């Protein structure tokens, strides 16, 4: 049970740290951290937890990562479902804590989005469903490619958390304007359940696209890595 609890706590930290920075600090009067700060916050949550629990659970914190690593031969089949359940529970718990904090400010309104992911009129930049779908598939694909490579036994040892954290930061810098950046079904679910309405209605895309992208990224890395071994 230790690794499942570690995944729950790690995902709790990812959602509280990443979504919390977006809800509480992104547009704070005069000293808001903005898009760059939110992007960095998401990267730091993964980096810090990778060092804290990587040796316990592998620090997936993301159903798309778990299923991608499963496809890439890096995750035992028996762990997949318990990991995903733990991740979603941790994300929803973090969303609850964030709601308790954010609602303590006068004028707080869930209709503002609560850091939910969306497309069309709910995309920060007004991007279409197709644009959102392509973005989430490609970004998650590259995320898994980096994860697979950084944790390869041939890669420089001890630096994987840095590479993975910076990769997630870069992904947010690219895609926040399009979807508010998911690449993580648990992260999307953790806040969408509190917003309800459109956030839950559009949640399907932020499960389907990251999972497809994650599996593609892992399979592509496995192919590239195998060809490199043969060469």
Residue 29 has pLDDT above 80, yes or no: no
* CA–CA–CA angle 151, 157, 162 (5° rounding): 70
Mean pLDDT in residue range 88-117: 92
Specify the CATH number for 3-104+113-225; select among 1.20.1080.10, 3.10.20.30, 1.10.274.50, 1.10.260.40: 1.20.1080.10
pLDDT digits (tens, 9 = 90+) for 126-174: 999 999 999 999 999 999 999 999 999 888 888 999 999 999 999 999 9
**Residue 118 CB-density burial (10 A; 0-12 exposed, 13-18 middle, 19+ buried):** buried
Range with the poorest average pLDDT among 22-26, 53-57, 92-96: 22-26
What's the count of helices (H) and strands (E) in the chain, helices before strands?
Answer: 9, 0
Q: Is the pLDDT of residue 119 over 60?
A: yes
Q: What integer best gives the mean pLDDT of the chain? A: 93
In this prediction, residue 27 carries a pLDDT of 75
Q: What is the rounded distance in angstroms from the CA atom of residue 12 to the CA atom of residue 91?
A: 5
Structure-model confidence comparison of residues 32 and 72, the more confident one: 72
Question: Which pLDDT score is estimated for 68?
Answer: 96
pLDDT in tens, 38-68: 999 999 999 999 999 999 999 999 999 999 9
Any idea where the domains of the chain sit in the sequence? 3-104+113-225
User: Which pLDDT value is given to residue 227?
Assistant: 64
Least confident of 17-31, 71-85, 147-161, 194-208: 17-31
Report the alpha-carbon distance of residue 95 to residue 70 in Å, rounded: 27
């Amino acid at each position: 049970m230790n690794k499942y609890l570690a995944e729950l706590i790690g995902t709790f930290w990812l959602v509280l740290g990443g979504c919390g920075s977006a809800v509480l600090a992104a547009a704070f009067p005069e000293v808001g951290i903005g898009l760059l700060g939110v992007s960095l916050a998401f990267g730091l949550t993964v980096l810090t937890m990778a060092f804290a629990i990587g040796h316990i659970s592998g620090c997936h914190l993301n159903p798309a990562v778990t299923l991608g690593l499963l496809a890439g031969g890096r995750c035992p089949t028996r762990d997949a479902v318990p990991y995903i359940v733990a991740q979603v529970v941790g994300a929803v718990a973090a969303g609850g804590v964030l709601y308790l904090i954010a609602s303590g400010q006068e004028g707080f309104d869930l209709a503002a989005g609560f850091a939910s992911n969306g497309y069309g009129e709910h995309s920060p930049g007004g991007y279409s469903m197709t644009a959102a779908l392509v973005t989430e598939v490609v970004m998650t694909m590259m995320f898994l490619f980096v994860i697979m490579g950084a944790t390869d036994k041939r890669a420089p040892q001890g630096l994987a958390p840095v590479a993975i954290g910076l990769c997630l930061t870069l992904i947010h810098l690219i895609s926040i304007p399009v979807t508010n950046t998911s690449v993580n079904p648990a992260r999307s679910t953790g806040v969408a359940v509190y917003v309800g309405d459109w956030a839950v209605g559009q949640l399907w895309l932020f499960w389907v696209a990251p999972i497809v992208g994650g599996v593609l990224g892992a399979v592509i890395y496995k192919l590239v890595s195998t060809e490199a071994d043969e060469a």
